[in-house]
Amino acid sequence: MSPQVTVVIAAYNAERFIRETLESVLGQHLQDLEVIVVDDGSTDGTQQVLDSFSDRRLTVLRQDNSGVSVARNAGLALARAPYIFFLDADDLLTPDALYKMVNTLEDNPEHVACFGHHIKIAEDGSDLSMGSYIRWKLLPADDTLRHLIAKNFICGAICVKTDAARTVGGFDPTLKLGEDWEFWCRLALLGDFAAMPNDILLLYRQRFSSANYRLRKSPLRPNHQAVDVIYDNPEIRRRFSHSELLRRRRLAEIDVFWVGARNEYVQGRMLRFLAYLTIGALWYPDSVLRPRLVYLFFRGLQQPSYDQPRPSNGPAQERCLFLLTPSKEACAVENFTQKLVSALQSRTPNQGYEMLPVSGRLRDLPAIFRKIAKTDRIVFSLPLVAWKKLLVIPIFILLFATVMRRPVSVFMHEWKGLHWLRRLALGPIVLLSRTIIVVSPFISDQIASDRWLGGAGAKCRLVPHPPTVLRPRERLVTERIRRIRESASNSDVVIGCFGSIYRGKAATALLDICQHLNNRGVRALIVFIGNFTKSLDDYEQEFWSKVSQFGIKDHVIVTGYIPGEAELYTLFEEIGVFLFLFPEGLTARRSSVIACLQSDRPVVVPAPHSATEFSHHEGFSALIESGVLSFIPPAADLRAIADQLLVAAKQAPRTAPVIDADAWWRAATAATRAALLEPDHPSLAAQAHWAPAE
C-alpha cells in the first residue's frame, strides 16, 4: 500500500543538521509517509548519521556529488506517494505540517500544490523571524503563476502532487540558484496552488554556507539566471502579454536585487551593502512604490547576524544613547526624556546612558554618526517639539544606526493624534525599532491597530510615567502672575488648563465651556498655562478664530511657556479649578494632570475609557483610588460639565496628595531598562515594579 506523502531530502555534508531534520519528519502527526534521503556524495559524517536510523519508512540513496536538483529528481523518481514534499537537509517541519498539507490537497483536488508560512531560524536553531512577519507576508489565494513569476514567495513550505512534479520534468539541474523558484513556476503552469495563510509549516534555517549566499554576485552583476530561464519559457510567454511580462520581470529583478542587498547586510559586509543601496537607488528607484517590499526589506535588516556572539547570562554593560533636540522651550516629552536619562545615570551608574542633542544642520551629521558608532544602542524620543522641524535628519540617523547594527528603540507619546505627514515621516523609525516604549496602553493600542505598521504593537512595552514637575516650597510672583490676578479679580470662576496646547488636548472644547458659562451669567476666566505646539494643522489659528467668534477674548489667557516650578505653582494658586477634556478620557500619559494634582485645587477630567489603562502604573492608580480627581461621565454634555465644574470650584481647598516621586522614578527607570534590554535579558522585566521608599 502506498504512503500518503513522500518527503525527499537532498543531503550534502549535512552531518550537523540531518538528524534533527529527520526527527522532525519521522515525528510527524501524519505517520503514513515515506522519507527518501539522497546523499549527494557527502564527505563528512552524514552517512554515519543516516545509518543510525532504523525506521522502515526511511530510504537512503547514495550518489556521486551532482547537485541539489539531480538529487531531488532522483528522489522524485523513487516516490510512491501521491504527494511529495522537498525538504532541505537543514530545515525542520512543524509537527502537523504534513497532516495539514495532505488534507488541504485532498480538499482542493483542482490545485497542483499547497503552501504556507515558514519561520527563519539560525544555525543554532534560534528564531530569526520578526513577530509581525506572518501578518505582512500575504499569500496569494489564486492566479498563482502571475504572482510567482514576479516574486518567489515560497520558501520550501510547499507540498506538490507527485504526478504534476513528474509532468513538468522535476528540477532544472543547470540552475545553481533559484532552481526551486523556476520549478514552482513550471508547476503553476498546470494549475493554481492552494494557500494556507494561517499555518506555519517549516522552520527555514539560514546559513552563510548555503547556495543562497554563496552564488550571489556583485550588485553590478546580479544573478538573474533563474529569472532568464523563467521568462524564456515559451509557455509563460504565451500566457501573458509582452507589456505584462516586462512589468512582472521588472518586479522580479527588483526583488532578487534587494534580497541580495539584505543578505550582504546580514553577513556583515557593509561596503557591499552600501554599494547595493547606492546602485539600487539608481537602477530601481521605483522600489519605493512597493510599500510591502520596503517594509520587509527593512524588517529583514533587524534580523540578528548569525555570527554575532550570544549575550551572556548577566546584564551587559551597554552604552545607550538618547537622541534629544535642542529647543528654547522644552516640551513635556523633552522634559521627561532629560529627567529619565538623568535618573538612569544616577540609578545605574555602571550603564552608559547619555543624551545627544540633534540639530537640524546637515553639517552636524558626521559628529552624530561618530557618536552613534561608539554606542551600543540608540533611543529616539518622539514626538518632540524640535523634531517637528526635522524630517530628513532622523531618517539619516536611522539608516546609519541600521547599517552599523545598532539596535534602535523609540519612546512614543502620541501616534494617531499626529498629522498624517508626521506619521509618514516617523513611520520608518517605528517600523525599524526593536522596542517601542509607551507610557499608556492607549498609545500601544493605536500602534497595534494601524495596519500600515504591520503589527508593530507586538514590540510595545509599557513604562509608568513619573512626575516631571514637582511642587516646590518657594513661590515666585512675576508680572505675568500679577496680570492674571487682576483678570481673576473680575471673574466668578477661574478655570486652568496646564500643558502644551494642541488638537489632541481639545483646547477649543474648553472655549465652549467658557462661552456656555458666560451665557449663563457666570463670569468665567480660562487660563491656558503653556504654549501652542507647532503643528501642520493650523490649530493655533483655529483656536484664536473661535475665541474671536465667541467674543471671549477678555476671558481667555494663554500664558506661554513657564520655565520655573516656583512661578508655575504660584500661578496654580490663582486657579479655582483645573479642567481637562481629553477626547480619549484620562490616560496614563497625561503628566499635566499629575502636576495639577500636586496643587490644592480640584481637578476635573473625563473618566478613563479603559479599565486597564493604569494597570501598569501603581502610583497613578493609587491617586485615582484616593478620590482626588473629579471624573466627568462619558455622556456628559456642556451643561453637565459646567455644573460639575462649578460644584468643584466651590469646594474648600483640599490637601495636596503626597506623591512619592522617588518610588515613581524607580519604577520608571526599572521598566525602561527592562524594555530596552528585554530582547537580550528577559529576566530584567521582573525588576520593573513600583515600590514605595523604605
- The residue whose grid cell reads 540531518 is 18
* Per-residue pLDDT reduced to its tens digit, 670-680: 999 888 876 54
Q: Half-sphere exposure (CA, 13 Å, Cβ side) for 465?
A: 26
Q: Are residues 99 and 188 in the same domain?
A: yes
646 in any annotated domain: yes
| Domain final residue pick, 273, 304, 335 | 304
Q: Are residues 71 and 142 in the same domain?
A: yes
Q: Are residues 458 and 487 in the same domain?
A: no
Residue 362 has pLDDT above 90, yes or no: no
Torsion sign, CA atoms 639, 640, 642, 643: positive
Q: Looking at beta carbons, which pairs linking 28-31 to residues 24 or more positions away fall under 8 Å?
A: 28/93, 28/95, 28/96, 28/97, 28/98, 28/99, 29/95, 29/96, 29/98, 29/99, 30/4, 30/5, 30/96, 30/98, 30/99, 30/102
DSSP secondary structure of 495-551: EEEES-B-GGGTHHHHHHHHHHHHHTT--EEEEEES-BPP-SS-HHHHHHHHHHHHT
Residue 527 has pLDDT above 80, yes or no: yes
Cα-based torsion angle of the residue sequence 423, 424, 429, 430 in order, rounded to the nearest 10 degrees: 50
Beta bridge partners of 120: 204
Grid coordinates representing 234 are 515559451
* 308 against 192, higher pLDDT: 192
| Residue 12: DSSP 8-state | S
pLDDT at 335: 81
Cα separations in angstroms, 215 against 153, 173, 226, 364:
19, 15, 12, 40
Q: Which range marks the domain in which residue 300 is found?
A: 217-222+234-304
Cβ burial of 13 (10 Å; 0-12, 13-18, 19+) is middle
Q: What angle do CA 175, 180, 185 make, to 5 degrees?
A: 105
pLDDT at 212: 53
Q: Are residues 615 and 517 in the same domain?
A: yes
Q: What's the CA gap between 363 and 5, in Å, rounded? A: 63
pTM above 0.85, yes or no: no
**What mean pLDDT comes out for the span 533-545?**
84
Pairing of strands 158-161, 113-121: antiparallel
Pairing of strands 5-11, 83-88: parallel
192 in any annotated domain: yes
Residue 627 has pLDDT above 90, yes or no: no
Q: Are residues 281 and 429 in the same domain?
A: no
- The residue whose grid cell reads 499635566 is 592
Q: How far apart are the first and last CA of the chain?
A: 75
What SS3 class is residue 380? Answer: strand
Q: What's the CA gap between 184 and 595, in Å, rounded? A: 63
Residue 134 has pLDDT above 50, yes or no: no
Look up the CATH number of the domain holding residue 165: 3.90.550.10
| Domain final residue pick, 403, 437, 462 | 462
309 in any annotated domain: no
Cα separations in angstroms, 184 against 74, 90, 254, 426, 512:
18, 21, 19, 39, 65
Q: Are residues 590 and 619 in the same domain?
A: yes
Q: Are residues 506 and 650 in the same domain?
A: yes
228 in any annotated domain: no
Grid coordinates representing 101 are 498539507
* 246 against 308, higher pLDDT: 246
Look up the CATH number of the domain holding residue 365: 3.40.50.2000
pLDDT at 94: 95
Q: Are residues 210 and 251 in the same domain?
A: no
Residue 1 has pLDDT above 80, yes or no: no
Q: Are residues 341 and 256 in the same domain?
A: no
Q: What's the CA gap between 429 and 431, in Å, rounded? A: 5
pLDDT band at 221 (very low <50, low <70, confident <90, very high): low
> Which amino acid appears at position 464 of this protein?
P
Q: Are residues 171 and 97 in the same domain?
A: yes
Strand ranges, E, within 339-447:
352-357, 377-382, 408-412, 435-438
Asked whether the beta carbons of 157 and 201 are under 8 A apart, the reply is yes
pLDDT band at 316 (very low <50, low <70, confident <90, very high): very low
687 in any annotated domain: no
> Which amino acid appears at position 52 of this protein?
S
- Percent of the chain exceeding pLDDT 90 equals 51
468 in any annotated domain: no
128 in any annotated domain: yes
Q: What is the total count of domains within the chain? A: 4
DSSP secondary structure of 410-437: EEES-STTS-HHHHHHHHHHHHH-SEEE
369 in any annotated domain: yes
